[in-house]
Amino acid sequence: MSTQLLRAVNIMVSRDGIGAGENQRLDQPFGDGLDPAVLFSWAGATASWPNRTEPGGSRGLDDYFTRDWNRNIGAEIMGRNKFTPYRGPWEDHPEWQGWWGDEPPFRTPVFVMTHHLRPPLTLSDTTFHFIDADPATVLSRAREAAQGKDVRLGGGVTTIREFLEADLVDTLHVAVSPVEAGHGIRLWDSPEDLLDRFHLDVVPSPSGVTHHLFWRR
């Protein structure tokens, strides 16, 4: 039995299961029709939010989720569309180095799934590896890089779906915000879609989001 879990942590969707709008681009990283500030506000209010720039913040329920983000994580897997708003060959946007500046918060190897290969990119403590492979192969590479620690499945929701379909996800935390997106890129039709394979705790937070905690049966 592997004790290295694949954990999707702090995945944020609307009440109707949408994680991003369509037509994602540089000035609208989450695309049209869905304001990411609404999805992220619960996390941004916590003391442990990695992007926090001033002291303070809440240390109640929501903070358990933001501070769990990097606990015992040795590598991350993300889809190409989380790394960049651009599509097509990397050569068209040679200066793009991800959304996170010179010190990305990951501080581990990160495996970016893409059909367009390129050499690894190291920024401070984070190295991005670009990999064109199926989910099981990517997970195998990430587990090796994680050196005994867990692997975080970082999203977006399309990538989460691929790993769920391949039955590779061990735990999944989804924060559902009380907004309707209507259309966009969808994680699920309903959380109940996963109940054949997962236990589920549904935990309403005083902040207004409802945390959905899935773990493998």
Select from 55-63, 76-84, 100-108, 184-192 the region that touches a second copy (CB under 8 A): 55-63
Interactions with a second copy, residue window 98-157 (CB under 8 A): none
User: Which residues on neighbouring strands pair with residue 175, listed in sequence order?
Assistant: 12, 211
CA atoms within 13 A on the CB side of 16: 11
In the complex with a second copy, which residue's Cβ is closer, 86 or 215?
A: 215
Q: Which of 103, 132, 165, 201 binds a second copy (CB under 8 A)?
A: 201
For residue 68, state whether it binds a second copy (rule: CB under 8 A). yes
Q: 30 Cβ partners below 8 Å, 6+ apart?
A: 20, 21, 24, 36, 39
DSSP 152-201: EE---HHHHHHHHHTT--SEEEEEEES----SSEES-S-GGGGTTTEEEE
For residue 205, state whether it binds a second copy (rule: CB under 8 A). yes
Angle between helices 135-146 and 157-165 (to 10 degrees): 100
For residue 40, state whether it binds a second copy (rule: CB under 8 A). no
Residue 213 identity (one-letter amino acid): L
In the complex with a second copy, which residue's Cβ is closer, 136 or 202?
A: 202
Q: Which of 67, 116, 141, 161 binds a second copy (CB under 8 A)?
A: 67
Closest distance of CB 164 from a second copy, Å = 16
Binding site for a second copy (CB under 8 A): 1, 47, 55, 58-61, 63-65, 67-68, 71, 170-171, 199-201, 203, 205-206, 211, 213, 215
